[in-house]
Amino acid sequence: MSAPRIVVVGAGPAGVRAAQALVEAGVRPIVVDEGRRDGGQIYRRQPEGFTRTHALLYGSEAAKAQALHRDFDALRPHIDHRTETLAWNVTAGQLHTVHAPSGATATLDVDALIVCAGATDRLMPVPGWQHAGCYSLGAAQIALKAQACAIGSRVVFMGSGPLLYLVAAQYVKAGARVNAVLDTSSAMPTPAALRGLLQRPRLLWRGLALKASLRLAGVKLMNAVTPLQIDATPDGGVSAVVVRDAHGNERRFDCDAVALGWHLRAESQLADLARCEFAFEPLSRQWLPRIDACGRSSTAGVYLAGDGARLLGADGAEAAGRLAALAALHDLAHERGRTLFAAEQSALQRTLATMNGFREGLAQAFPWPHEHAAALPHDTVVCRCEAITAGELRRSVRELGSQEVNRSKAFSRVGMGRCQGRYCGHAAAEIVAAAASIPVEKIGRLRSQAPVKPLLMSAQEHE
């Protein structure tokens, strides 16, 4: 057959390893990435002219980051790398892209599409979170890693998940002032959570060491908190975080910046537009595209890997990216691809099984506190794009009769703003489900719309 036309979306750990597998098999893929440089979010490269070392930037993961960057640099002559390019729609056999700086559009015919779109932070609204100085946890890390800045001069970290402690520790190490780390999950994981975490003992140990280093640095760490309020003024921005502690006492932490995050949510819009089937994953309480053990979606020719499909973290993404690319070549009856696939499939799947066990442990140790969403005061802003409150969402159920999230979206506009539901969608589903007394998995799934991110009105596709 003629050379297969394969497009990889994303140049993070999954996308880079997918592209590498394709090149090894003799295929020249197109790699579409929104970033100016490769690495994705986790191994984001600082701009040219910055001088911090890999060891300083990526800590214990420096060797992996360096390997990924080095391997991608070696791939450059063998791929068509399209930077600052948004994949904004998928139609039958075609991917639609736009180059952000120039507005130039392209329609790419694909025999196989490997989507490695990554994840964003998962957010839980807190009264006041819409104000200036409140950031996602990922934002706090990007400010430091990619720009050598702290998001404020006194920072409070609040949420749950391993990233909470990692970013706080990175801030302390870089010389930023961290006033508190407030975790909604309890300090002691359940036996089931621990069993999962012990699948990767080295990572578990590193997590415990991070907490110890923060304590040693004098940072206040609290578990089992209930977020009550982010004190702020419309003009001045945030000034404090108020929580209820495990003993029921109200605690206030002064700050001029807050980093919020509860683990991650998959960027699964392209999979949705490609009409891939989704399934509700009860452990993390989110909808994820259905994939088989090799990353095949339910749509022929569409493969999904990395955190955009399963939230396995960077190591899992590297394995999943490679496996999905080899599976794509196998399915296209590509001879060298088939040989590589046969040789590596089982080992890659075993790696992914270990990563998945650990993921399950994490999801149980740092649960999404869905009950907070259901209990948010009526006047809490849920959609920070358009300042729409929890009360308005509940009204869509109680007064307008909605029993489904897409209907509540139409009634309230929650999920229609600039972020297209990325930061309000999960909480909105919990609020609607609680108001309607329907389990969240029965309340429906917010449908993705093209374009997956806003385009300029001037963008034009040419035939």
Q: Which residues bind another protein (CB under 8 A)?
A: 34, 36, 41, 46-52, 84, 100, 120-121, 130-136, 138-139, 142-144, 146-153, 174-176, 232-237, 256-257, 267, 381, 384-387, 418-419, 422-423, 453-454, 456
Give 93 or 454: the residue with its C-beta nearer to another protein: 454
Q: CB of 412 within 8 A of CB of 392?
A: yes
How far from 59 is each of 52, 54, 169, 170, 223, CA to CA, in Å?
A: 12, 7, 11, 9, 25
Give the sign of the dihedral formed by CA 304, CA 307, CA 313, CA 314: positive
**Shortest distance (Å) from residue 61 CB to another protein:** 18
Coil, helix or strand at residue 349: helix
Give 132 or 438: the residue with its C-beta nearer to another protein: 132
**Shortest distance (Å) from residue 286 CB to another protein:** 16
Read off the DSSP letter of residue 284: T
Give 418 or 447: the residue with its C-beta nearer to another protein: 418
Q: CB of 124 within 8 A of CB of 260?
A: yes
Q: Please, what is the end-to-end C-alpha distance for the chain in angstroms?
A: 26
**Shortest distance (Å) from residue 154 CB to another protein:** 10
**Shortest distance (Å) from residue 457 CB to another protein:** 9
Give 56 or 209: the residue with its C-beta nearer to another protein: 56
Angstrom distance (rounded) from CA 30 to CA 346: 27
281 bridge partner residues: 286
List all residues 6 or more positions away from 167 whose beta carbon is below 8 Å from its beta carbon. Answer: 137, 140, 141, 144, 157, 259
Coil, helix or strand at residue 259: strand
Give 11 or 112: the residue with its C-beta nearer to another protein: 11
**Shortest distance (Å) from residue 118 CB to another protein:** 9
Give 153 or 346: the residue with its C-beta nearer to another protein: 153
**Shortest distance (Å) from residue 139 CB to another protein:** 4
Angstrom distance (rounded) from CA 227 to CA 242: 7
Q: CB of 144 within 8 A of CB of 244?
A: no
Residue 452: CA count within 13 A, CB half-sphere? 22
Coil, helix or strand at residue 295: coil
List all residues 6 or more positions away from 143 whose beta carbon is below 8 Å from its beta carbon. Answer: 135, 149, 150, 151
Give 251 or 395: the residue with its C-beta nearer to another protein: 395
Coil, helix or strand at residue 254: strand
Give 77 or 234: the residue with its C-beta nearer to another protein: 234
Angstrom distance (rounded) from CA 100 to CA 455: 9
**Shortest distance (Å) from residue 355 CB to another protein:** 23
> Would you state the structure tokens that stand for residue 311, as one six-digit string?
């939230």
**Shortest distance (Å) from residue 377 CB to another protein:** 16
**Shortest distance (Å) from residue 404 CB to another protein:** 25
Give 143 or 434: the residue with its C-beta nearer to another protein: 143
